[in-house]
Amino acid sequence: MTPKTRKLLGKIGLNTAAVLVFLFAVFPVYWMISTAFKSNEEIFTTRFIPFPTDPTIEHVERVFSEGVAGHSIWRYMLNSAIVAIGTVLIGAVFSLLSATAVARFRFRGRTSFLILLLIVQMVPAEALLIPLFLMVRRAGLYDQLIGLIVVNVALTLPFGIWMLRTFVAAVPRSLEEAAWIDGASRFTTFWKVLFPLVAPGLVATSIFTFITAWNEFVFALTLISDQGSYTMPVALRYFVSQRSVDWGGIMAASTLMTIPVIIFFLLVQRRMVSGLVAGAVKG
Amino acid sequence: MANTSTIARDGGSSPVPARGRRGTKPPRGSRGLPEGVVPYALLIPGLVVIAGLLLYPLYQMVVMSFQDVGLRQIRGVPAKSVGFDNYLKLFESELFWTSLRNTVVFAVVTVACTLGLGTLVGLLLNKLGRKMSTFLVIGIMAAWATPAIASAIIWRWLFDAESGVINWALNALPDWLSNLLFGRADWTGEPWLNDPVTIYLVLILVVVWAGFPFIAVSVLAGLRSIAAELYEAAKVDGASAWRIFWKITFPLLKPVFSVLTVLSVIWDFKVFTQLFVLAGGTSNRDAFNLSLYAFTQAFSSPPKMGLGAAIAVVLTLILLIITFFYVRQIVKTEDVR
């Protein structure tokens, strides 16, 4: 074999491997969408039908009109959106304040606070489920979306602060100092100088918070019992447990839940890596 | 999108100039807070949330693990201490040991598979041409982004006994090959999600599928930071690809791998959502892991929240020990001082 053919063979091998990995990653998602648009005859068959030969939107229409667990899927998407957006709004304010503190000031307890952030991120949320359930019940927030918002803020805040602090630290301090010299107050400096420059980072952090809250399952399962207050994940799982044969409807509902997340995700995936692996990857 | 983390991190890791220019101080208006108090004031909301909703429940969990918390206590009757009864009950129960075994075996296998596949795909991404690597990154993002609940449901459908595509594919294999690999040729109506062993096989597949993209992208980011000269020098010396990986890539990426390993272990130890969907709720006791076991004890009737809390304490202790190594690694490499 000449070096040239060897190189060519190597290239073909690499690209074949890439295509195989691509298929492994994408096929399940593709199959979900494809099933959502197939007729029942094409779904309930032992044959392999790669794509809907006669695409139908009957399943999508059904989850909207007849609904899932007694309500139209709009209801659950709305509940999920309320929880996710509420979490994002509160989380953004809180994490921006804390991130500014750790990125802009040197103070006693700063290192301890940062280490605390790392540790609490690792505490399994499932372990906090029992005490938080009792706390939410005693606070009268059981069965209410606001209770879920509060819990989601707590679950997402440590990572939010951790991620946002690098964005705050990246803004050159000299800009704020210039504003101070010009006689701007501390608040004006924050609002007119720091905030606009940190805004892209705040958007990225908020998208992560949104995705986490939108996907959250365990707490939504335990803190909500009224079907009208179900979020998407809980409604989906209820759908599966009640009518596990309606795969067309289940896949249509799953698609509706997944698509917004994938779009958001593609926007911010790079920051996800840097936020989690932190300094271990030296860019 | 061009403004990647690298830029942000460079800013973050150089606190020296900021310290040097301490001379310029923010204005101290008559209404302003004294300089030293400002950071604490800014931290208050975040600290209140973390202390009240994460640390206090953590403390409560430990307290409850020594108490008998049933239906009456949930309604407001003060709970009585029972000493170590919950733990004793737990260690005597066979279910606890099967759950612990399921948890550990699942985590070990899944972490190994996720890291192995993720690293291979990371190396592959680094070797591919520009277009092909973008194509593959977008593909694996789809798997990564899919919500846990949706991925569990999708795989449940793929493994459906009657119309699932997996049983079709296994039937489509030539009979001799299927017999050789699995000792059987007919897969029609094979129920995958009744038996704990096959439930866990599917669960491993689901979690590896969702988890390997993150590993791959992180490894890729690490690989891009290694100077190309090192590889060229190794090639000139005639080193094999295997040797290059173990002598250059792996040692340089060791911090990345240790963080990725710890994160994967932590995520895989407490997997709940996917198992809950695949095992069909809390009815299949043999398929419990610690999370699902704790959940079942605490929330099925009659609720035994003290016992559930004790299971959660065991799970948390295991995870905190692993976390300790993670925190040490991050403190070494990241600017937290």
Q: Averaged over B241-245, what is the pLDDT? A: 87
Angle (CA) B277 B282 B288, round 5°: 85
Q: DSSP 3-state assignment of B32?
A: coil
By CA distance, what is B36's nearest residue in A? A107
Q: What residue numbers bound the domain in which B255 lies?
A: 84-336
What Å distances lie between residue B290 and A166, B99, B334, CA to CA? 35, 5, 32
Phi, psi at B102, each rounded to 5°: -55, -45
Query: Which residue(s) pair with A68 in the sheet?
Result: A71
By CA distance, what is B43's nearest residue in A? A98
- B217 by Cβ neighbours in 10 Å (0-12 / 13-18 / 19+) ranks as buried
| Closest CA–CA distance from residue B94 to any residue of chain A (Å) | 21
Phi, psi at A78, each rounded to 5°: -65, -45
Q: Say yes or no: B128 contacts chain A, CB-CB below 8 A.
A: yes
Q: What ipTM is given for this predicted complex?
A: 0.88
Using the predicted structure, report yes or no on whether residue B29 has a pLDDT greater than 80: no
Whether B54 is in a domain gets the answer no
Query: Which residue(s) pair with B68 in the sheet?
Result: B80
CATH topology for A68-282? MetI-like fold (1.10.3720)
- Nearest alpha-carbon partner for B42 in A112, A96, A108: A96
Whether B57 is in a domain gets the answer no
Whether B59 is in a domain gets the answer no
**Residue given tokens 């006693």 in the structure block:** A108
Confidence label for B26 from pLDDT (cuts 50, 70 and 90) = low
Condensed to tens digits (0 to 9), the pLDDT of residues A39-96 reads 998 999 888 888 899 999 999 999 998 888 788 999 999 999 999 999 999 999 999 9
Q: Averaged over B183-212, what is the pLDDT? A: 91
By CA distance, what is A233's nearest residue in B? B149
Query: Which residue(s) pair with B67 in the sheet?
Result: B81
> A180 and B27 in contact by Cβ < 8 A?
yes
Confidence label for B98 from pLDDT (cuts 50, 70 and 90) = very high
Q: Say yes or no: A149 contacts chain B, CB-CB below 8 A.
A: no
Query: Which tokens in the block code for residue B165?
Result: 């595509």
- H or E stretch covering B67: strand B67-68
Task: Name every chain B residue with its beta carbon within 8 A of the beta carbon of A118.
Answer: 323, 326-327, 330
Q: Say yes or no: A131 contacts chain B, CB-CB below 8 A.
A: yes
CATH (domain of B166): 1.10.3720.10
Instruction: Please tell me the total count of domains within chain B.
Output: 1
Compute the distance between CA of residue A31 and CA of residue B159 in angstroms, rounded to an integer: 12
Confidence label for B23 from pLDDT (cuts 50, 70 and 90) = very low
Spell out the domain ranges in chain A. 1-56, 68-282
Confidence label for B271 from pLDDT (cuts 50, 70 and 90) = very high
Compute the distance between CA of residue B216 and CA of residue A137 in angstroms, rounded to an integer: 42
Please tell me which residue, B12 or A2, carries the higher pLDDT value. A2
Whether B1 is in a domain gets the answer no
- Nearest alpha-carbon partner for A173 in B298, B89, B19, B267: B19
Whether B67 is in a domain gets the answer no
Long-range contacts of A259-263 (CB under 8 A, 24+ apart): A260/A214, A261/A211, A261/A214, A261/A215, A261/B145, A261/B146, A261/B147, A262/A29, A262/B141, A262/B142, A262/B145, A262/B146
Judged by CB atoms within 8 Å, which residues 196-215 of B form the interface with A?
209, 213-214
Give the highest mean pLDDT range of B173-187, B225-239, B258-272.
Answer: B258-272
Nearest to B5 among A165, A215, A283 (CB): A283
By CA distance, what is A131's nearest residue in B? B57
Query: Which tokens in the block code for residue A189?
Result: 């400096």
Give pLDDT, residue B34.
75
Whether B144 is in a domain gets the answer yes
Which of the residue ranges A130-144, B95-109, B165-179, B318-332 would you say has the lowest mean pLDDT?
Answer: B318-332
Compute the distance between CA of residue B290 and CA of residue B271 in angstroms, rounded to an integer: 9
Please tell me which residue, A112 or B188, carries the higher pLDDT value. A112
Q: What is the DSSP letter of A191?
A: I
Compute the distance between CA of residue B3 and CA of residue B248 in angstroms, rounded to an integer: 29
Q: DSSP 3-state assignment of A179?
A: helix
Q: How many residues does chain B have?
A: 337
Nearest to A170 among B12, B160, B269 (CB): B12
Whether B319 is in a domain gets the answer yes
Whether B9 is in a domain gets the answer no
Condensed to tens digits (0 to 9), the pLDDT of residues A203-219 reads 888 988 999 999 999 99
